Amino acid sequence: MTDLTNPNSTSQPLNSAGDAAPASGRQPTVLRCITGSLIASALTFALYSLTMSIALSFATKPLHSTNITVLKISVAVRTLVVGMTALGMGVFGLAAVGLMLLGLQIWIQKLAKKPTV
């Protein structure tokens, strides 16, 4: 990590995002992108099913209390639980779409590349 207060720091910053190598050292391929997208899609569907199950369970079990503080805290916790599963579903859904689009981009770049003979 570069020391911003020391001008004699020996670390060299990256010039662009293209200078950074992937952590695994391997370039993404169409197959790897599609596989990752399918895994993320499966997790999205699982979290969607979990979210709907939790929401249905909360909807069918009313709160039995006359204390307004208990009711407000219960509603907040229920909202938090459903919101966290929905957030996870959204993150994995966006990852699935992004990986599929990356695979499509790589495939188009390979088709556009002219073979040298």
Q: Please give the tally of structural domains in the chain.
A: 1
Tell me what pLDDT residue 1 has: 56
Asked if 54 and 82 count as a contact pair (C-beta separation under 8 A), the reply is yes
**Greatest CA span in the chain, whole angstroms?**
81
Helix segments in the chain, DSSP class H: 30-60, 68-112
Summarize pLDDT for 39-68 with one digit per residue, the tens: 999 999 999 999 999 999 999 999 999 999
Tell me what pLDDT residue 12 has: 60
- What average pLDDT does the segment 85-90 reach? 97
Q: Whole-model pTM above 0.75?
A: no
Report the percent of the chain where pLDDT is more than 70. Answer: 77
Asked if 84 and 57 count as a contact pair (C-beta separation under 8 A), the reply is no
Structural domain contains residue 18: no
| pLDDT, the chain, mean | 86
For 62, other C-beta atoms within 10 Å of its C-beta total: 7
Structural domain contains residue 2: no
Containing domain of residue 56, as a range?
29-112
Tell me what pLDDT residue 25 has: 76
Asked if 103 and 37 count as a contact pair (C-beta separation under 8 A), the reply is yes
Structural domain contains residue 106: yes
Structural domain contains residue 117: no
